[in-house]
Chains A and B, each alone.
Chain A
Amino acid sequence: MKSKLDKKIKILLKRILIYILVIICFSVLWELLANLRFLQSDVLPPLSKVLKALKEQLIKGLLIEDILISLKRVGIGFIIGSISGILVSILSARYRIVHIIVSPLLELIRHIPPIAWIPIALLWFGFGNPPAYFLVSLGAFFPVLSDTREGIAYIERCYQDAALVLGLTAKQRFFRILLPQTIPSVLTGFQTAMGVSWMIVVAAELIGAQSGLGYMIQVSRAQLQTELVVGGMLVIGVIGLILSIAIRGIRFLLLPWKRRGRELISEQI
Chain B
Amino acid sequence: MKDDGHIFLANLSFKFLLDNNSYLSVIEDLSFNVRRGEFLCIIGPSGCGKTTLLKLICGILKIEKGNIKILWNDKENKQRITLVFQDLNLFYWMTALKNVEVVLRARNINNKESVRLAQSYLNRVKLNNYEKYYPHELSGGQRQRLAIARALATEAEIILLDEPFSNLDEKTKLNIEEDFLDLWEKQKLTVIMVTQSIQEALKMADRIVVFSERPAKIKKEFRIDLPRPRLRGIEYAEEFKKLEGEIWSIINE
B214-252 contact mask (Cβ, 8 Å, vs A): 1 or 0: 000000000000000000000000000000000000000
Q: In the complex the two chains form, is B94's CB within 8 Å of A165's CB? A: no
Report the minimum CB–CB distance from B99 to chain A (whole Å): 9
Let me know if B78 is at the binding interface, CB within 8 A. yes
Q: Which A residues are CB-close (under 8 A) to B55?
A: 161
Let me know if A172 is at the binding interface, CB within 8 A. yes
Let me know if A162 is at the binding interface, CB within 8 A. yes
In chain B, positions 45-97 with a C-beta closer than 8 Å to chain A are 55, 58-60, 78-79, 81-83, 85, 87, 89, 91-95
**Which residue of chain A has its CB nearest to the CB of B82?**
A165
A159-176 contact mask (Cβ, 8 Å, vs B): 1 or 0: 101101111110010001
Bound CA span A169–B79, Å: 11
**Which of A161, A167, A260 lies in contact with B106, CB distance below 8 A?**
A167
Bound CA span A152–B59, Å: 25
Report the minimum CB–CB distance from A66 to chain B (whole Å): 41
Let me know if A123 is at the binding interface, CB within 8 A. no
Q: In the complex the two chains form, is B136's CB within 8 Å of A168's CB? A: no
Q: Which A residues are CB-close (under 8 A) to B180?
A: none
In chain A, positions 157-199 with a C-beta closer than 8 Å to chain B are 158-159, 161-162, 164-169, 172, 176-177, 180-181
Q: Which A residues are CB-close (under 8 A) to B92?
A: 257, 265, 268-269
Let me know if A264 is at the binding interface, CB within 8 A. yes
What is the predominant secondary structure among interface residues of chain A facing chain B?
A: helix
Report the minimum CB–CB distance from B83 to chain A (whole Å): 4
Which of B82, B102, B136, B137 counts the most A-chain CB atoms under 10 A from its CB?
A: B136
Residues on B facing A (Cβ under 8 Å)? 55, 58-60, 78-79, 81-83, 85, 87, 89, 91-95, 102-103, 105-107, 134-137, 150-151, 153-154
Query: What are 24 sample pairs from A and B whose C-beta atoms fall under 8 A apart?
Result: A158-B89, A159-B89, A161-B60, A162-B89, A164-B60, A165-B79, A166-B103, A166-B154, A167-B79, A167-B107, A167-B154, A168-B106, A172-B102, A172-B105, A176-B91, A176-B94, A257-B92, A257-B95, A260-B134, A260-B137, A261-B134, A264-B136, A264-B137, A269-B92
What 12 new A-B contacts, CB under 8 Å, besides A165-B79, A166-B151?
A161-B85, A162-B91, A166-B103, A167-B103, A172-B102, A180-B91, A257-B94, A257-B95, A261-B137, A265-B92, A265-B134, A265-B136
